[in-house]
Amino acid sequence: MTTSIEVVTQNSRRVFLALAGALMLGAIVQRTELLSKKEASPSPKPKSPSPTPTEPKAISSPTPTSSKQTASPTPTKSPTEAATPQPTQTAVLEGVVIAKSAELTLRQTKVFKLKDSFGISTSYSLTRTSRGVVAFDTRCTHAGAPCVLSESLLQCPAHGSAFNPEDGEVVRGPAVEPLKSYRTQEVNGEIRIIIS
């Protein structure tokens, strides 16, 4: 009786291993077919019109000399190619609106405040220069006190440091580091500051 139980157990193991192997093989085959389908169907590439120049009819030899290359006419675009509309690129809006464009005139500096998601207010100085609007954090780099606009400089009331509002550089110490600058974007009559 023990021998027959051992035979049944061995047969059961063989059947189990055969079924497990078949299932694994089936899974591998399905995975391979799925990957080959993905590789077989490449994504379509956008078509761009490419003008093909017409060959001049009167060529005396198949290998043109340098003088003939300079004399060959340049291909011209057909009217249908020139009329093809080009896609317009829209500006990607970044940052948050901090001021209206009309609030700053050339060489004018103002301090604006923004509240973060916690309701904490932070002030930034904005100056319109000939190269656009520049923005700086108003916290003094010496001790972190907020600077105020005074006599066309950003001045720290805590220890007397002063900064140039057009480039953030130190005009008077004890601060030695310039103010932290931020990128700005002016779109649709609004000035946006990119804080990241």
In CATH, 96-194 is 2.102.10.10: yes
Model pLDDT for residues 127-146, shown as the tens digit of each residue: 998 888 999 999 999 988 89
What token pair was written down for 59? 């060529």
Q: In this predicted structure, what is the pLDDT of residue 176? A: 92
Bridge partners, 187 (sequence order): 190
CA distances from 36 to 26, 43, 44 (A): 15, 14, 17
Q: Which residues of the chain have pLDDT under 50?
A: 50, 55-56, 58-62, 64-70, 78-84, 87-89
Domain chopping of the chain, boundaries: 1-40, 96-194
